[in-house]
Amino acid sequence: MAAEAKPATVSPAKSAETHPAAAATPASVPLTRREFLNYAWLASLGFVLVVGFGGATYFFSFPRFKAGEFGGVFALGKAGDVLPKPDDPPIHNQEGKFWLTNVNGAIIALYDVCVHLGCLYDWQTVSGRFECPCHGSKYTKDGTYIEGPAPRSLDRMVIQFVAGNQPVATTDAKGDALAIPSDTSVELVVNTGKIIEGAPHG
Ligand code: FES
């Protein structure tokens, strides 16, 4: 009687030699509790950073102040309708905290806070100048320092004349008075968020 053929047995070492790909596959090692907690902590930190950075970017991508509130832009209307004439007294805009003043046909927007200690000064028709009730600082119609404890002339805001959403004239970096365009149908815009310090005296 013929002997039954037995299947050949291959030892694990022999098998690995025969199939290199199998030998290269690493055995999976379970994470320790410490490793798991480290990965979880890193993932949480990454999430917080992404959300925080994204939130800050979103927040700062919008203007901080709305149009028509102090710190934002005030669109006042057609220059011919809203500007004081050269001999008119300055016009106070309480919401925007500025005085519009016409000096020889050019316009300035003066921040209405005294540069000494922050009181609200006022226009005095009799003397034809701005006077602060707190400590007596006085300024000319264009905000230039005359006398008193104030360290400088009044601060100014940036103004623009705008036609069809395009600026046609803008206050320069020194805050010089802005000449009124011949076409007074342009719109006057005051940017109360852009304040230019007055010049020091003495
Ligand atoms: S706060 Fe105006 S003079 Fe002092």
| 151 pocket-lining for ligand 1 (C-beta < 6 Å) | no
Query: CA 181, CA 79: separation in Å to the nearest integer?
Result: 9
- Superfamily name with CATH number, domain 73-196: Rieske [2Fe-2S] iron-sulphur domain (2.102.10.10)
Query: CA 37, CA 130: separation in Å to the nearest integer?
Result: 68
SS3 for 114-140 is CCCCCCECEEECCCCEEECCCCCCEEC
Query: CA 134, CA 185: separation in Å to the nearest integer?
Result: 40
**120 CA to middle of ligand 1, Å?**
8
Query: CA 182, CA 164: separation in Å to the nearest integer?
Result: 16
**36 CA to middle of ligand 1, Å?**
64
What pLDDT does residue 10 have?
Answer: 46
For the CA of 137, the nearest atom of ligand 1: 3
**96 CA to middle of ligand 1, Å?**
20
| 138 pocket-lining for ligand 1 (C-beta < 6 Å) | no
Residues 167-184 as b/e (b if ≥16 CB within 10 A, e otherwise) read eebebeeebebbebeeee
For the CA of 132, the nearest atom of ligand 1: 2
Tokens of 64: 């901080």
Q: Where are the domains of the chain?
A: 73-196
| 154 pocket-lining for ligand 1 (C-beta < 6 Å) | no
pTM of the model: 0.71
Query: CA 162, CA 187: separation in Å to the nearest integer?
Result: 5
For the CA of 148, the nearest atom of ligand 1: 3
What pLDDT does residue 152 have?
Answer: 98
Residues of the chain with pLDDT under 70: 1-27, 53-65
Q: Note the pLDDT tens digit of each residue in 149-166.
A: 999 999 999 999 999 989
What pLDDT does residue 47 have?
Answer: 80
What pLDDT does residue 120 have?
Answer: 98
List the Cα angle 134/74/106 in 5-degree steps. 75
| 135 pocket-lining for ligand 1 (C-beta < 6 Å) | yes
What pLDDT does residue 13 have?
Answer: 46
Which run of H or of E encompasses 160? strand 156-163
For the CA of 136, the nearest atom of ligand 1: 3
